[in-house]
Structure 1
Amino acid sequence: MNKIKLITDSTSDLRRETYEQYDIEVVSLLVNFGEESFRDLVDIDLKQLYARCENKKEFPKTSSVPPQVFVDIFNKYLDQGYDIFFVGIGKELSLTYNAANMALKEINRGKIRIVDSANLSSASGLLLIRAAELREQGKNVDEIADEIERLSHHLHVYFAVENLEFLYRGGRVSAGKYFLGTMIHAHPIIKVSNGKLSVYKTPKGKMVKALDEMLNEFYRIGPDKIDLGHVMITHAFADDSAAYIKKKLMEMGIPENNIYISMAGSVIGTHCGPNTIGILFIEK
């Protein structure tokens, strides 16, 4: 059986040491300020992104990379005798999935499996970790891809945002929802369902109400129905909120080592804004 190379894009929002631990190749997507383009995780990070938004009053846009980037990366590992597995941001949320598939069709050799996560951020990262564990168990690339495809339909993803400004300016929510959320001083909860973002709830008042609403979804499903091996908390400089959610999860009996906290990258941060925080997990 051939060696298996795991590849993702930079929206998977895992920590750098995790990518290194599992030998995962990361394709940097782009953050664009006017005519200037920056590679996520390479040329720009979340702190630099928000500083530029604040100081220069610029608002960035994001983009995928051209298919040729994937052609070059896939060929590099095929030439080394690898089978390839790719999962990244969902196809309804970015052109990245399409770019990877275009590369696959152009190469037309070797064994390459591409799975649509139908999701974003560390939900894709969670699938990657599971893929790495399956690889360690000796599964082949088809077995890994089939299982990750199955698990992608069991993801639960909730993000609480400080406000809807970044989502609105990035074209992710409508003007009506943006202005309504602003008027009632809400901290909207964004849910990912069927590969698309939607405003799930709009709790008003302090941010802790939004955090409790997300935790209530976790409680509602119930720990016995959730894969507690990896529960993800990803945020954009919302350290206090992350600590709060972690504490509540540990009070439920989830081991500290099973709670994975990461910082969003600049592509995800472009769309969610500062102080955003999410909880992401797999239902059995």
Structure 2
Amino acid sequence: MSNIKLFADSTCDLPLSEIKKMDIDIIPLIVTFGDDAYKEGTEINTKDLFRLVKEKNMLPKTSAPSPADFYNAFKPYVDAGKTIIYLGLSSKVSTTLQNAKLAAENLNTDSIIIIDSLSLCVGTGALIRQAYNYISSGMPLDEIIYNIQKNIANYKLYFTVETLDYLHMGGRCSSTEALFGKMLNIKPIISMCVDGLDVWKKTRGKKKAINLMIEEIILDKDNILNDEIHVGCTVGNEEERSLLKKQITELTGITKFQDYIIGCVISSHCGEGTLGLGYLLNEELIKNG
């Protein structure tokens, strides 16, 4: 049995069955409507989120777990002599990673390794799956860390939204942008990279947005690790996700997919109808020594 304990936070959006199978401890982010605070994944799900947004005509606030939350989660494993690897939500979009580092400092140990995924949702989930595979294979700790960092640098993630309403309500686009975006059916494609979130391209109509994301897969298809695509959608949008997978298979021959339902925190910023995909570029994993 490995002496390494793998941690993630709730924005990795891994299915519960996978979390249990890989024995990953999940630190939940917080979703707050007024005076009511909920832990993502255990006290609120995405269906609840969308219902409350409609009922209250407001977006929730989202917040990182506190340093105390991380401290209390890490401490039993530190006391048991375990080495902890926490692979967390991008530091470019949240203070979650910073709070994990504060907890590690307060525990005064070098057995906690905090790694910035520089990603979210399907991207972080995919990186965690790879980390689990390295740990399960018995790979030495320094090689695990090295290869995780290589994967982070070689991950591509794109998603598009159905409506700009959530981005507007969350202050991420102006009322003018939202209005003209709705009138002209503008769909931004947002990329997640090592520098953070960015609008990669804009197009008229969601079908064109999806086609542009697939075109990027076609360009990279001979260099995709394990010929595997990670696809995510907001709850209620599973049929569109299935159609996306079918298109990818028809145009690239790729048949291996990992499915995700986008969780509360990310959904609260992107809204219903969000659809995304990601994949790891295949770069030889170099072992030290």
Which of the five TM-score ranges fits, normalised by the shorter chain? over 0.9
Once the two structures are superposed, residues 30-73 of structure 1 have per-residue CA deviations (whole angstroms, 9 ceiling, x without a partner) of: 01112211100011000000011112223111000110111111
Whether the aligned pair in 2 keeps the contact of 1:91 and 1:195 (CA below 8 Å) is no
Q: Partner residue of 2:4?
A: 4
- Residue type of the alignment partner of 2:218: Y
CA distance in 1, matches of 2:119, 2:258: 18
Q: Partner residue of 1:165?
A: 165
Q: Partner residue of 1:149?
A: 149
Whether the aligned pair in 2 keeps the contact of 1:90 and 1:195 (CA below 8 Å) is no
Aligned length: 280
Shift of 1:173: 4.2
Whether the aligned pair in 2 keeps the contact of 1:228 and 1:254 (CA below 8 Å) is no
Secondary structure at the counterpart of residue 42 of structure 2? coil
Q: Aligned pair 1:73/2:73, yes or no?
A: yes
Quote the RMSD (CA, aligned, Å): 1.7
Relative to structure 1, the CA distance from residue 270 to residue 189 in structure 2 (aligned partners, 3 Å threshold; closer, same or farther) is same
Secondary structure at the counterpart of residue 120 of structure 1? coil
Q: Partner residue of 1:52?
A: 52
Matches within 5 A, 1:215-234: 215-221=214-220, 223-234=221-232
Q: Partner residue of 1:96?
A: 96
Picking from 266, 269, 272, the partner of 1:268 is 266
Q: Partner residue of 1:210?
A: 209
Shift of 1:179: 4.4
Relative to structure 1, the CA distance from residue 181 to residue 200 in structure 2 (aligned partners, 3 Å threshold; closer, same or farther) is farther
CA distance in 1, matches of 2:173, 2:118: 18
Whether the aligned pair in 1 keeps the contact of 2:67 and 2:100 (CA below 8 Å) is yes
CA distance in 2, matches of 1:42, 1:169: 25
Once the two structures are superposed, residues 175-225 of structure 1 have per-residue CA deviations (whole angstroms, 9 ceiling, x without a partner) of: 5644442342212111112342122222213x222211111111122x111
Secondary structure at the counterpart of residue 203 of structure 1? strand
Shift of 1:118: 0.9
CA distance in 2, matches of 1:232, 1:56: 33
Whether the aligned pair in 2 keeps the contact of 1:161 and 1:188 (CA below 8 Å) is yes
Whether the aligned pair in 2 keeps the contact of 1:173 and 1:198 (CA below 8 Å) is no
CA distance in 1, matches of 2:9, 2:66: 13
Whether the aligned pair in 2 keeps the contact of 1:181 and 1:202 (CA below 8 Å) is no
Whether the aligned pair in 1 keeps the contact of 2:122 and 2:277 (CA below 8 Å) is no
CA distance in 1, matches of 2:176, 2:196: 18
- Residue type of the alignment partner of 1:35: D
Once the two structures are overlaid, the 10-residue window that deviates more, 6-15 or 192-201, is 192-201
Q: Aligned pair 1:198/2:202, yes or no?
A: no
Once the two structures are overlaid, the 10-residue window that deviates more, 118-127 or 102-111, is 102-111
TM-score (normalised: structure 1): 0.93
Relative to structure 1, the CA distance from residue 85 to residue 173 in structure 2 (aligned partners, 3 Å threshold; closer, same or farther) is farther
Matched-pair identity in %: 31
Q: Partner residue of 1:241?
A: 240
- Residue type of the alignment partner of 1:280: G
CA distance in 1, matches of 2:113, 2:170: 30
Q: Partner residue of 1:280?
A: 278
CA distance in 2, matches of 1:194, 1:180: 30
Matches within 5 A, 1:166-181: 166-173=166-173, 177-181=177-181
Whether the aligned pair in 1 keeps the contact of 2:228 and 2:254 (CA below 8 Å) is no
Whether the aligned pair in 1 keeps the contact of 2:2 and 2:135 (CA below 8 Å) is no
Q: Partner residue of 1:14?
A: 14
Q: Partner residue of 1:39?
A: 39
Shift of 1:141: 3.1
Secondary structure at the counterpart of residue 90 of structure 2? coil
